[in-house]
Each structure stands twice: as structure tokens, then as C-alpha cells.
Structure 1
Amino acid sequence: MKLFASFEPDLIVLDVMLANGNGIDWCKDARSYTNAPIVFLSSHEEDEIKISALTYGGADYITKPFSPGVLMAKIKAHLRRVSTGRREQLLELPSLTLDYYAQTVSMGSKSVYLSKKEFSLLSYMAQNVNRAVTVDALFQLIWGMKSLEDTRTVAVHISNLRKKIEADPANPETIITARGIGYMLVDRGMT
């Protein structure tokens, strides 16, 4: 589950029996983080388990023993469906490209790896490019809290974001501080 904070998988292969838990319960929890197809593998052939796995978010169920060729064919079929149904959702600025589907950011040919919160912050500021966004608005949007208890939470995430996208994080030119208000994503190509 911790990995969902740093990347969005294209597909998950999951065993029903996990070393320290149940794959079906894990799948239920994972659905709050990802819509990626989940292919279950199991030695259980009971219909109740298959139905439960598919009901709680599984896209497919393969019974052991299985042919590696069949597993690969099913994985490729699920990936084809995902990519065919995917409409590229890009926000392109002269200096940054945000892919909302893949939750990725690129600067020219360089990929920038962001946490989910960092991506959400950058995404919101990119949708309001060259406009100041209040710390309160960022905190409420990203953390879902109405009262701002600690502005340092936003500041720490902005600092981490600057380290990843600024040429000189100590003298930011892309994410600047709007004194007394919050932050602004500046795109010089749009000014």
C-alpha cells in the first residue's frame, strides 16, 4: 500500500493468500488508491472465493496451476483495454507537462517523480497558472481539512516540490511565494 504514494501501477497481479493477510481484503483497500486492473492468482477453485475476488475489485481470476503464456495473454489483454479506453489527459505548459491519467510530470524529455500530494499541489497550481493560490485553499484541497492548523505542512511539500522542479530551489522561478497569500506557479511562456 505504501507504494501507491509514489506511483500508479498499470496492472496488479495479486494472490488471494498473502503471507500476512488476505488478497481480497487488500484489493478492497487498494481500490481507494487505484483503478488499475487486478488479476488474481489462486489455488482456490471455490466459486464463492472467485465471486468475492471479482466483486471486490478484481478484473480477472486465474486458478493455479496455470500456463505462463495464458497469464501473459490475459495481462496483455487487460493492458490493451486500459490503454484503448484511456484518453490522454495532458496539461501542457511551455516548461511542464502534467499527465493526469498517469499522474506524471515531465520537463522537456526529463520525467519528474512526485508523490501524490506533490502532484496534487502542482496540478492545482498548474490549473491556476500565473495566479496566486492561498495556503488555505491548498491545504483544504489536498488534505481535505477546513481549518488550517499548521501552514508548515504546505510549506514543506512546496519545498520538496521545488527541489524536484526548480533549477535552483533556493531561488525559485517556477513556484514562487506570493507574500501574505500563498504560492504561484509561474509559466514565463504565458506571461
Structure 2
Amino acid sequence: MDTHKIMIVDDDPHICEIVQAYCEREGYIVTYSHSGAEAMKLLISFKPDLIVLDVLLANDNGMDWCRNARSYTNAPILFLSSREEDEVKIRALSDGGDDYVTKPFSPGVLMAKIKAHLRRVSTGRKGQLLELPGLTLDFYAQSVTMGSETIFLSKREFSLLSYMAQNVNCVVSVDALFQLIWGMESVEDTRTVAVHISNLRKKIEADPAHPERIVTIRGAGYMLVARNTLQQVRT
């Protein structure tokens, strides 16, 4: 198995040390930089498999750096930031970022995100497919195929579906979905998750009003159900 290479770009040495320690614990090769100019040179020489990037660097804007870095790499870029405004997150992802984690962050959640992104880039094109009974997720195209029909999802819809697919036939709490997809530590409004689940159901359910794929487990959360167990679960 190839050893993944992680590059950290953050002007806070303490943050770099924390992320480095957790990544090295997983066996990853890690390097870091505290400035954008230095990081760009390091990007070209180190060729990381994934980048952890601060939104606000001392003398640089992390989002500008991300946009420029896309000329040299397709590696996933996970933003770290103390900024929680939606417009900041939207710009970060629009400028080439793949994920957004707010500070203070849970190292466990950050590592889960890093592992998830590395899984998607560690193999060739075939490895980008996750096949379930009656449902195939394509991580490269950000789409889901049901029978002969392919449906393209929004980034957030696909993130929700892929996370549940990786926990198929298991209950996923609303809190977990909110934290992993929106990068926040607690649920401020559960309707945010419910609205996106509703939109996702409209795309993949035969009857969204009576869902059979993404079912609600009352008082617990949601479950993506494999077809051969549909009869055992009720919404």
C-alpha cells in the first residue's frame, strides 16, 4: 500500500503540530508550511495527496492560494478556519476547496474527513465506484446510478448520500450529518439536514413522500437501506 503524503499550510505552528501528529499516527508522510509563497514551492516539490489549508494566512489569503494551486494539483484541499459565515464557506469551496472544517475542530472529525477524501483518490477510476443493491455511487462524477438512470447530485447532496452509503443499513444521527457535512460541532437547526434529505429523496426515491431508500428512524436519525432489507424497515 502506498503511503499518502499530507501537506499542511497554516501560520499557526500549534495547529500544524497537532494535525501533523494525528496524520503521522495514521502512517502518513507529513510536511507543513507557514506561508503561502513557501507552500507553493513545497506543493510542486512534495506533490501531496491531500492539503490541509488555513483560510487566513499571515500574509496571504488561503482561498487565493487554493485557486492558484489548482493549476498544479488535483489533490483534495480541506480548509481550516475560524470563520463560520456561509459566504466564506461558499467562496472557499467555489475557489477549489473540497471540504471545510471550522476551528476549534475535533481532530477525530478532521482525520475522518482526511481518510474519506484519501479513499477517493487512492485508486484508479474503478475505485471511485461504490456499489449497493440497486444503487451505484460514482465519486468522480458525483452521481448516483439506479438501473439505467444516472442522476447528478449537488456537492452537499452527494456528501450526504455517500456518507450514509458508507454506513449502509446503519442509523446515522442528524448531529453526525450536520457536523460532517457542514463542519460544525453542533446542530443549530435540524431542519437544515431535513431539507437536504428531502431534496435528495426527490431525486432517488420512486415516491419521495413514502421513501424506501433513505428512511427516517424516529428519534435517532436516517438510514440508507440496501434493497434486500427494505421490507424490514419502516419510515
Gaps in structure 1 of 5+ consecutive residues: 1-24, 37-56, 58-83
Residue 91 of structure 1 corresponds to 130
Structure 1 segments (4+ residues) deviating >2 Å = 84-88, 188-191
Instruction: Tell me, in whole angstroms, the C-alpha distance in 2 between the residues paired with 1:98 and 1:132.
Output: 19
Please give the root-mean-square deviation of Cα atoms over the aligned residues, in Å.
2.6
Q: Which has the higher contact order (CA 8 A, sep 6+)?
A: 1
Instruction: Tell me, in whole angstroms, the C-alpha distance in 2 between the residues paired with 1:98 and 1:169.
Output: 19
TM value normalised by structure 2: 0.46
Give the secondary structure class of the aligned counterpart of 1:117: helix
Q: CA deviation at 1:157?
A: 0.2
Residue 105 of structure 1 corresponds to 144
Residue 182 of structure 1 corresponds to 221
1:138 to 152, 173, 177: 177
Give the secondary structure class of the aligned counterpart of 1:92: strand
Q: Deviations over 1:107-166 (max 9, x none)?
A: 111011210010000001111111110000000000000011000000000000000000
**Maintained 8 Å contact 2:142/2:152:** no
Q: CA deviation at 1:29?
A: 6.7
Gaps in structure 2 of 5+ consecutive residues: 1-63, 76-95, 97-122, 231-235
Match of 1:177, as an amino acid?
Answer: T
**Maintained 8 Å contact 1:88/1:99:** no
Q: Deviations over 1:56-94 (max 9, x none)?
A: x9xxxxxxxxxxxxxxxxxxxxxxxxxx96453211011
Instruction: Tell me, in whole angstroms, the C-alpha distance in 2 between the residues paired with 1:159 and 1:30.
Output: 36
Instruction: Tell me, in whole angstroms, the C-alpha distance in 2 between the residues paired with 1:163 and 1:28.
Output: 33
Count of paired positions: 119
